[in-house]
Amino acid sequence: MRGGSVHVVNLHKSYGDVAAVRGISVDVAAGEFFSLLGPSGCGKTTTLRMIAGFEAPTEGEIRIDGEDVARVPANDRPVNTVFQNYALFPFMSVADNVAFGLRYRKLSKAEAKAKVGEALEMVRMEGYAKRKPGQLSGGQQQRVALARAIVLGPRVLLLDEPLGALDAKLRKTLQIELKALQESLGITFIYVTHDQEEALTMSDRLAVMAGGLIEQVGTPEDVYDAPATAYVADFLGSANILNVEVVGSSSEGRVSFRLGPDVLSCRGQGAAGSDMRLVVRPERLLLEPTDEEAGTIDGTVTRTVYQGPTTDVLVRLASGDELVVRRPSERAGQHAPGDKVTVHCRPDAMLLLPPGALTSA
Ligand SMILES: Nc1ncnc2c1ncn2[C@@H]1O[C@H](COP(=O)(O)OP(=O)(O)O)[C@@H](O)[C@H]1O
Ligand SMILES: [Mg+2]
């Protein structure tokens, strides 16, 4: 099988007064594992349904392998969809469920049977052909739904929170299996999820969405290490996000800013006087000196939160902000509420960003 490319240009969808999708443009390459990541209600499902052909765009273009599919009905697009709720026929066997999509193909009985067998083998369900969906676990049902989607040989597979109904441990296993399946099939996956860890572990690239728009597109490393906005930084992993005022900037892409009584500097851009967000990951903050380059901020420990391998030390600053400092647990015991501490932060650990969707909304 071969993957198809998907080009979406300025896609909009309104339901009456509700603007579900407000202008999405994205290029998904052939064979790519691409995720749409964002909180509930941000327009992920609506976007996917428009690519599938279940929903007509209010405005915008969708091209699959260069072909404009706007007027192509859903079942004539080289695309198939896997839903969170499996949507299997309860009274049909596993084999008949998988064969269902082949009914309009002019295949002999033997050809259809071979294709069904092949698809079930790919999802490791070859031993379950005669069972009914009700006799399978959730994970097994989702495997059957996958087989039913790939038996038709789509160039693009759309998946809408397919692991959402499964428990955490099974999700992990299926994440790895799905990624391996996508690689061996070579087809394009567009994967919708609100789970940041899922998107980071599986995707070649992902789009972080908010309020019907895309906030940033990039590789998992791009969006985690170099978030474009404070919204993206906050959505992916934990981050300290503080309001700061820019004091000045240099031509080398460095900015100095005021945080309470302290003036610090780091990477970033921003005009003097502008309000920006300082973003620092808790694991990048230290409670002991590093090198001369590091900025220092004085504060008082308010609480420690044990998390097994790491412990979060909460530090109240003179500015009134609270910083979370993540420490290996064996070193966190040195700190107790009321202790005066100095937080050390290397310039490369800090990012000055515009607020983005979350705080500008
Ligand atoms: N058929 C519909 N009629 C009216 N509003 C809808 C419909 N489908 C979705 N919406 C609204 O559009 C927005 C985006 O929904 P959706 O695409 O399902 O988000 P997500 O999948 O990211 O949770 C939400 O505010 C939702 O309530
Ligand atoms: Mg949804």
Domains of the chain: 6-227 (3.40.50.300), 233-360 (2.40.50.100)
> What global pTM score does this model have?
0.89
Nearest ligand, CA of residue 164?
Answer: 2
Give pLDDT, residue 360.
Answer: 47
Residue 15 CA: nearest ligand 1 atom is 4
CA dist 272 and 245 (Å) reads 8
Supply the residue whose CA is at minimum distance from atom 16 of ligand 1.
43
Q: Which residues surround ligand 2, an ion (CB under 5 A)?
A: 45
Give pLDDT, residue 292.
Answer: 65
Measured CA to CA in angstroms, residue 186 lies from 144, 153, 178, 202 at distances of 19, 11, 12, 14
CB 161 within 8 A of CB 139: no
Whether ligand 1 lies within 6 angstroms of the CB of 42 is answered as: yes
Distance 45 CA to ligand 2 centre (A): 4
Using the structure block, give the residue that is written with the tokens 């706007």: 70
Whether ligand 1 lies within 6 angstroms of the CB of 194 is answered as: no
List phi, psi (to 5°) of 302. -105, -30
Give pLDDT, residue 26.
Answer: 97
Measured CA to CA in angstroms, residue 196 lies from 39, 203, 205 at distances of 9, 11, 13
Whether ligand 1 lies within 6 angstroms of the CB of 18 is answered as: yes
Whether ligand 1 lies within 6 angstroms of the CB of 45 is answered as: yes
Distance 191 CA to ligand 1 centre (A): 17
Residue 42 CA: nearest ligand 1 atom is 22
Give pLDDT, residue 357.
Answer: 67
Whether ligand 1 lies within 6 angstroms of the CB of 108 is answered as: no
Return the closest-CA partner of residue 26 out of 57, 5, 52, 55: 5
Nearest ligand, CA of residue 85?
Answer: 2
Exposed/middle/buried for 134, CB within 10 Å: 0-12, 13-18, 19+?
Answer: exposed
Give pLDDT, residue 361.
Answer: 43
- Tell me the per-residue pLDDT of 62-98, one tens digit each, with 9 for 90 and over: 999 999 998 899 989 999 999 888 789 999 999 999 9
Give pLDDT, residue 261.
Answer: 85
Structure tokens at 277: 């967000």
Low-confidence ranges of the chain (pLDDT < 70): 1, 292, 357-361
Give pLDDT, residue 221.
Answer: 95
* Beta strand extents in 211-329 (DSSP E only): 213-218, 240-249, 254-259, 262-268, 275-280, 295-306, 310-317, 322-328
Nearest ligand, CA of residue 38?
Answer: 1
